[in-house]
A and B are shown apart, each in its own frame.
Chain A
Amino acid sequence: MTAHPALNGWIRHFLLTIHLNFSNSQAIVYGYLVPIIFLLAFGSVFRADSPPLLAQMGQIVTITILGGACFGLPTALVAEREQGIWRRYRLLPVPIPWLVFSAMLARVLIVASSILVQIALARAIFGTPFPSHPGAAMVAFLFVTAAFLGIGLLIAALADSVPAVQALGQCIFLPMIMIGGVGVPLAVLPAWAQRFAGFMPGRYAVEVLQPCFNGPHGIHGAGFRLGALAVIGMAAGVSGTKLFRWEAGRRKGSARWWVAAALTSWVTVGAIAWATGRLRPVSPEAAAWTSITETQIAEIGFDNLPADDGIAAALAPPTLDSARSMEFARKLAAWPQGKLDEAGQSVRNLVSLAAVADLCTDPRESEIGRLVFRQISSRFEPAVARRALAWIILNPEDGQVVTKVPELGLFRHPPERLVRQRSVIYAEKYLGRLAGKIPE
């Protein structure tokens, strides 16, 4: 025995809490399997990004922390309270808050291990790079986890049973996932939802974690967000501690006031963010094609392209003027996918249309190739068209491609991978012509 039995007991309680967590199959499912499922779900959507999934790691990690803190911690605490375990702990010669803190610290390690598993799997499965600022990532993780654990403690104090934990947890979890900038990116949310997200800690959590993965400065300049998390976590933690119940029974009469105090911190943080102009609507990230430079375009070579009258990437001569082609040209001019607000994506859609026709060995494949080129040349500024085509060549996995165009009479459905490959060849043929490097 050590000279400090209380400390000795605290350490043993901490270690046993971790050990019992790993002995519990339900805790493993919710603590590890569900976060992996979230990772795979995100990966299936964002695997084509470059680099894959890196821009979503802040969201993924936030979801894991949110789950561990708002469900894992209160479920464990309330289950033990229902079993009378905290009654038994109350007989020990140590203050109960010590043991609550021990349980919370154990949860920090459990959540951290789950996140490490996610990062490792993201790397192994999708090739996602590790965080560019690991030290800052640890600091951000501690702030986010502390804030959410405070909320988890409050849920544990309020919930009368484990099912009540699930209900209360969902009240926090779902809004943050759907309109809090955690599950659905802020940029795709309507303006009102983006402002609303400023009143929830999930937005700040993502905003401090994400730059640690792909930002240039990590958490540098994230002082307000870290402060917001600290205030929200502190308010919830103090309220949770004041309302903590070591045995099943009625909540304290002051519960509503402490809950109000915790929620006031959310409102206060959101109001300050609003007043200081931090809740300006976030626009979708500028498409990568706009960052293509003339130097990059100049470095693109046009050697070894297949012949225009060959099998792959056939292209009719510029003199094309048949009635059939005129009919298709009219339809093409009205095709919505070629007239998006986003010029880069419109060009990519048009090029992929040529690729689909070619891959389907449509009788009009070379004509469609030529008509698509005419459409690009006539609809877009030469500089825009050049950059968009260079983007397709340099970043074949970016953006979306069309693979099925029945509205234009193309009924076959070639694989996306082939469409992207063939799009690169067409883009090179078009860009070479626009740049005057391929003679007609």
Chain B
Amino acid sequence: MDDKASRSSAAAVSVAGLSKRYGVTEAVSGVSFEVGAGQIFGLLGPNGAGKTTTLECILGLRQPDSGSIQVDGSDLRTHATRAKLLVGAQLQSATLQDKITPRQALELFGSFYPQPFAGDELLERFDLEDKADAPFAALSGGQRQRLFLALALINRPTLLVLDEPTAGLDPQARRTLRALIGDMRTEGRTVLLSTHDLEEAAQLCDQVAIMDRGRMIAIAPPSELIARAKSPTRVIVRTAPPLTSTMVDSLPHVLGAVCADCGWILDTPAPNRLLAELVRRADQVGAELIDVQLRRPSLEDVFIELTGHSWSGERERRRAS
């Protein structure tokens, strides 16, 4: 791609005090954040957290009840058309006509912009050349998502808004799409995406904003959020013969220990020292180390710490309601 989106220190998107209600339901409540140019910014939260509503307000699909949104320094209320020229989007619940082909779709959507990418160029980049003239209905889920990403890019946007771009895809298609999204950052484009996939957010995003029940809980780079976590590191160790409970109880730096099928699960604030002691004690009793795993706190742990309820529990609560 010869197109290189211009980086600037200014915020690509600036949201302040955004609120949106649907009847009695407050979908988004006083949300504020800024997305720096050239970043991949992830809105992270379980289903129903308010991510899609936030993105739809930024795209101009929803009228906020209060708050302001600026895209590349322009107020969305007064410069909506300019914003549409700068933004490319992939929507969660939008498909295409069954009979339209990827080539036709790219030509159609590109024709509304002053300097669009050539359809063939995007077909090649998104590995859709073989399906260029196939009807949309015949495309696989991964191919459709790649086409939507290509459509989002057709107008050479400086800001890409992607709503759950990898939802419902198989692992291989998800990996491919993440790589393509990563390329957007390399080109200097800003990407604002929503996801409820913690792993995806940790892998892709420079900044993550955790949302829950319409409110913004935290904003920081994923590594920083994880580092802030108070949860201990978890060491899972399996030996032959297994360590006795007496031996485990005598280990230093252990906050809690549970014996499970996979071996001993030990929570510790000092994993280095615990591991060294474990190896020494195993040598002493002639036990062989079969498996040792180290699990650092994850974004899920951060979410639980911040919200007081589990990620899956929140999903179940919403499903039940």
Contacts and interface: CB of A to CB of B under 8 A. Distances in A.
Interface stretch (A7-15, A108-116, A309-317, A324-332): A7-15
Given A84-B91, A87-B91, A88-B91, A5 B113 contact: yes
Contact of B99 (A8, A20, A85): A20
Contact of B112 (A20, A24, A84, A94): A94
A16 B100 contact: yes
Interface in B86-114: 87, 89, 91, 93-97, 99-100, 104, 107-109, 111-114
B130 to A, nearest CB: 20
B313 to A, nearest CB: 29
Contacts of A16: 100, 104, 108
Interface residues of B, number: 28
B242 interface: no
A397 interface: no
A96 to B, nearest CB: 11
A406 interface: no
Given A24-B99, A85-B94, A91 B108 contact: no
A24 B99 CA distance: 7
Nearest to A79: B97
Nearest to B94: A84
A76 to B, nearest CB: 9
A198 B232 CA distance: 82
Contact of B97 (A9, A83, A91): A83
B59 interface: yes
B218 interface: no
Nearest to B152: A91
A284 interface: no
A92 interface: yes
B244 to A, nearest CB: 60
Contacts of B96: 83, 85, 88
B116 interface: yes
Nearest to B113: A5
Contacts of A83: 94-97
B112 A6 contact: yes
A80 interface: yes
Interface string A10-54: 011100100110011000000000000000000000000000000
B132 to A, nearest CB: 15
Contacts of B81: 93
Contact of A91 (B59, B95, B107, B111): B59
Given A5-B114, A9-B108, A91 B99 contact: no
Contact of A87 (B94, B100, B107, B135): B94
A85 B95 contact: yes
A91 B89 contact: yes
Interface in A85-101: 85, 87-88, 90-94
B61 A91 contact: yes
Contacts of A8: 111-112
Given A12-B107, A87-B61, A92 B112 contact: yes
Interface residues of A, number: 25
Contacts of A275: none
Contact of A9 (B61, B84, B89, B112): B112
B248 interface: no
Interface string A231-267: 0000000000000000100000000000000000000
A1 interface: yes
> In the complex, which of the residues B60, B87, B99, B151 has the most CB atoms of chain A within 10 Å of its own CB atom?
B99
B115 interface: yes
Given A87-B61, A93-B85, A80 B97 contact: yes
Contacts of A85: 94-97
Interface in B41-97: 59-61, 81, 84-85, 87, 89, 91, 93-97
B150 to A, nearest CB: 13
A9 to B, nearest CB: 3
Contacts of A13: 108, 111
A90 B81 CA distance: 11
A22 to B, nearest CB: 9
Contacts of A91: 59-61, 84, 87, 89, 91
A1 B115 contact: yes
Contacts of A19: 104
A11 B111 CA distance: 9
B3 to A, nearest CB: 15
Interface string A54-97: 00000000000000000000000000100111011011111000
Given A87-B61, A87-B93, A88-B91, A93 B99 contact: no
Contacts of A12: 107-108, 111
> In the complex, which of the residues B81, B87, B94, B104 has the most CB atoms of chain A within 10 Å of its own CB atom?
B94
A88 B107 contact: no
Contact of B84 (A20, A80, A93): A93
A166 B50 CA distance: 35
A100 B59 CA distance: 21
Nearest to B105: A16
A146 B112 CA distance: 27
A236 B63 CA distance: 27
A91 B55 CA distance: 12
Contact of A92 (B84, B107, B114, B135): B84
Contacts of B84: 91-93
Nearest to A2: B111
A87 B151 CA distance: 14
A91 B60 CA distance: 8
Nearest to A19: B104
B95 A84 contact: yes
A16 to B, nearest CB: 6
Nearest to A16: B108
Contacts of A23: 99, 135
B220 to A, nearest CB: 30
A173 to B, nearest CB: 25
A204 to B, nearest CB: 35
Nearest to A76: B97
A49 to B, nearest CB: 41
Contacts of B135: 23
A1 B114 contact: yes
A364 B104 CA distance: 77
Nearest to A23: B99
11 contacts: A1-B114, A1-B116, A5-B113, A19-B104, A83-B96, A85-B96, A87-B93, A87-B94, A88-B151, A90-B60, A91-B84
Given A20-B99, A94-B112, 5 more contacts: A8-B112, A9-B113, A24-B99, A83-B95, A88-B96
Can you list the 10 inter-chain pairs with the closest CB atoms, starting with the nearest? Answer: A84-B94, A9-B112, A23-B99, A9-B111, A93-B84, A12-B111, A87-B94, A88-B94, A83-B95, A92-B112
Interface of A: 1, 5-6, 8-9, 11-13, 16, 19-20, 23-24, 80, 83-85, 87-88, 90-94, 247
